[in-house]
Amino acid sequence: MTERKGTEIRVRGQVQGVGFRPFVWRLARDRGLRGWVLNDAAGVLIRIWGETAGFTEALRDEAPPLARIDRIETREVTENPPDGFEIRASEGGAADTRVTPDAATCPDCLAEIRAPGRRHGYAFTNCTHCGPRFSILRGLPYDRAQTTMAGFALCPACRAEYDDPADRRFHAQPVACPACGPRLWFEADGVELSGDPVALAVAALKRGEIVAVKGLGGFHLACDARDPAAVGRLRARKHRPAKPFALMAREADLDRLVRVTPADLAALRSPAAPVVLMPARGTLPGVVAPGIDTLGVMLPYTPLHHLLLDAFGGVLVMTSGNLSGEPQVIDNAEARAKLAPFADGFLIHDRDIARRLDDSVLRCDPPMVLRHARGRVPGVIDLPEGFADAPEVLATGAQMKGAICLIRHGQAMLSHYLGDLDDPLCLSEFERAIADYRALFAHRTSHVAVDAHPGYRASQIGRDIAGREGLPVTEVWHHHAHMAACMAENGWPLRGGKVAGIVLDGTGLGPDGTLWGGELLLGDYHAARRIAHLAPAPLPGGDRAAREPWRNAVMRLDQAGLALPEPLAALPVQVIRAAARAGLNAPLSSSAGRLFDAAAAIIGLCVQAQSYEGEAAMRLEALAGTAREAAEVEDQTDGPQIDPAPMLRMLCGPAPAAERARAVHLWLAQAFARRARKLIETGAAQAVALSGGCFQNALLLRLTLTELSGLRVLIHRETPANDGGLALGQALIASAQSM
């Protein structure tokens, strides 16, 4: 009987597709243990017989590089053990495990494609430590038959690697080689060209042409970043006059482009391989990122990218392959139809993409994820203390920067970035993603959380799901959700006390029926109340005011009793003044984002129109960064309504433009931080949370943190401060209110 007593070990977390089973096999064999290991829908299941001391500790301490263990559970079992230790076939069932995100090419695979051998120059080389995962996954458990690699039968050499537990490609589901795997080719005008596809693409790039490149999560449009004519052609063809382009560069080229810190380099080299924002050195043509002092750069993250950059020998613009506002293209036929007006050639392959994933974007100083996407999803966030019994909530987020959140088993899963839901194709992709995530992770939704704005398509979809399935719906106020998202990321307990939330963003519906956006809230997950806010001003033209900064400038200057500077006075101001007086499509708003737009226009930046969301604020921040000090703003009152008139008077003054731009940021930071500090000092709040899209502004965030020095401050690091993180807050609020 003693011989039959063994231990069952359940390992939960990101433990499939990362080489965990062969790791367990080697660990057990090295210790002389008998038993077996397998994948199932809950993670990895192990049964072992023998001397097990230190075995579970080794599972954590020596796990493969891509593994992320959430918890290990053990129990005693009594049965006949096998003669040795074996890896058994996967078992199905309801999904209850983490899926590994796509991972950048590991050093071993990179060396392999550069060295003689059967994978020399092969663009789809990967192993258990790298390669496509979520982008090719169709179902769980994670086995080849459940991926878009199912149609590629393994050749004998790859099969031998796949079946050998001692090989780093053991059960690496996308394993392939030129004899059996996906094929790469280059085509132009719908015709495949003969020759080395990478060499043909490089030749096109060096001629100043634009090449569509099929990557992990979709197509990119690439051109020579050093060629202003090529970049200009891409802008003209894509109708993208000023929005900064992302870049792809070899690590050896980084120092010539940007000022790189060790933190930046660590992020760039990580398996997620995101786009990292870094200060530009000014060595590239201004047309790459007009009016902006930072560049978004990523390293090559697939073998194809490495081969392309090695052969090209320079820096490439690498921007999403899509029509303006639409989702990134992932299908070959769709790419030919939609990208032909942009691209002179296509570097393309026949491995299907199961779900589109844009590149993740982050900044390291101060640290913040700006876009939660490829390489980071589907990651999970452990729920704070007190949420162990949270129901299985589906939260649908907001209208801009669509993203959903699922709560299950004490964890929250925030989806990848799904775009602006005003676009019909993005909306369709959003609905598909909800069905995809719910099915993939067997989410038994018992509650739906939506933004309180009745016009948001995300909210309408959430209500429709709840109506069809007979589920309760929680309507969450926009800015309360922002604050709760920041609290959740920082592990603020359910009963941790009240938090002062400084929430600065574009617009979101407030409980009083007006559009909020410059708020100081006090509350917890259950509820929040408004303590202070920017004085509201009309938004003449509604959504047009978000696109045309001059409208906000006129309203704010009129409100402050200040004369319009010449560039503004020449515009049709009487029309919007009349609309504001009549209350005709001119809703009141306390938006900090629109105040930034107004300030930019007064200084002379993006006066008449923005060509992309946030352009005015980004250019204002870049200008402010050139000033060593800020212009002075007269003392302010400490009442609940924050009047920007003193700051506006400064803006119309004689100080240098850069000093005025910096003063805008400093004034806003001081006005809100001073009031938040009082809530802490009086004991009304135990911490300050900073959230909302305006805190993507690194200067504003730094200044606000300085003003709050000595206090406990919660900020976004791993989830976006913008609406891309809103669903997380909605889910926590709905859980708190229903428990």
Q: Beta-carbon neighbour count of residue 43 at 10 Å?
A: 23
Q: Give me the average pLDDT of each 10-residue run along the chain (739 residues).
A: 81 87 92 91 89 91 90 91 88 65 97 97 96 91 88 97 91 95 96 98 98 97 98 96 97 98 97 97 97 97 98 97 89 96 97 96 96 93 95 96 94 94 92 92 94 96 97 98 98 97 97 97 98 97 95 97 92 94 95 98 96 96 96 84 96 96 97 97 98 98 98 97 97 96
CATH 3.90.870.40 domain span(s) along the chain = 184-361
Question: Residue 352 CA to chain centroid, in angstroms?
Answer: 23
Q: Which residues pair with 86 in a beta bridge?
A: 36
Q: Which residues pair with 562 in a beta bridge?
A: none
Quote the pLDDT of residue 256.
97
Q: Phi and psi of 41, rounded to 5°?
A: -70, -10
Q: Which residues pair with 14 in a beta bridge?
A: 68
**Rounded CA separation 194/185 (Å):** 8
**Spatial CA neighbour of 147 closest among 99, 80, 111, 194:** 99
**Rounded CA separation 370/387 (Å):** 26
**Rounded CA separation 456/474 (Å):** 15
Quote the pLDDT of residue 326.
87
Quote the pLDDT of residue 302.
98
Q: What is the CATH class of 184-361? A: alpha beta
DSSP character at residue 635: -
Q: CB-based burial of residue 500 (10 Å sphere; 0-12 exposed, 13-18 middle, 19+ buried)?
A: buried
Quote the pLDDT of residue 324.
80
Residues 79/81/86/91 CA torsion (nearest 10 deg): -10
Quote the pLDDT of residue 97.
62
- Residue 80: active-site member: no
Q: Which residues contact 257 (CB under 8 A, 6 or more apart)?
A: 247, 249, 280, 281, 283, 284, 295, 297, 315
- Burial call 620-636: b when 16+ CB within 10 Å, e when fewer: bbbbbbebeebbebeeb
| From 12, 34, 39, 662, active-site residue | 39
Residue with tokens 């606000």: 704
CATH 3.30.70.100 domain span(s) along the chain = 2-87
Q: Which residues contact 428 (CB under 8 A, 6 or more apart)?
A: none
Four-way CATH pick for 491-714: 3.30.420.40, 3.20.20.370, 1.10.3720.10, 3.30.565.10: 3.30.420.40
Quote the pLDDT of residue 2.
55
| From 21, 47, 363, 677, active-site residue | 21
Four-way CATH pick for 2-87: 3.30.70.100, 1.10.10.10, 2.40.400.10, 3.40.50.2000: 3.30.70.100
Quote the pLDDT of residue 440.
83
**Rounded CA separation 360/356 (Å):** 12
CATH 3.30.420.40 domain span(s) along the chain = 491-714
**Rounded CA separation 158/155 (Å):** 5
- Residue 68: active-site member: no
Residue with tokens 């941790």: 496
DSSP character at residue 273: -
Q: Tell me how far CA of residue 598 lies from CA of 236, 368, 516, 616, 629, in angstroms.
A: 28, 26, 16, 9, 21
Q: Which secondary-structure segment (H or E) carries 40?
A: strand 34-40
Domain spanning 378-485+722-734: CATH 3.40.50.720: no
Quote the pLDDT of residue 94.
47
User: What's the length of the chain?
Assistant: 739
Residue with tokens 């918890």: 71
Amino acid identity for residue 443 in this structure: H
**Rounded CA separation 193/682 (Å):** 73
Residues 129/135/137/138 CA torsion (nearest 10 deg): 180
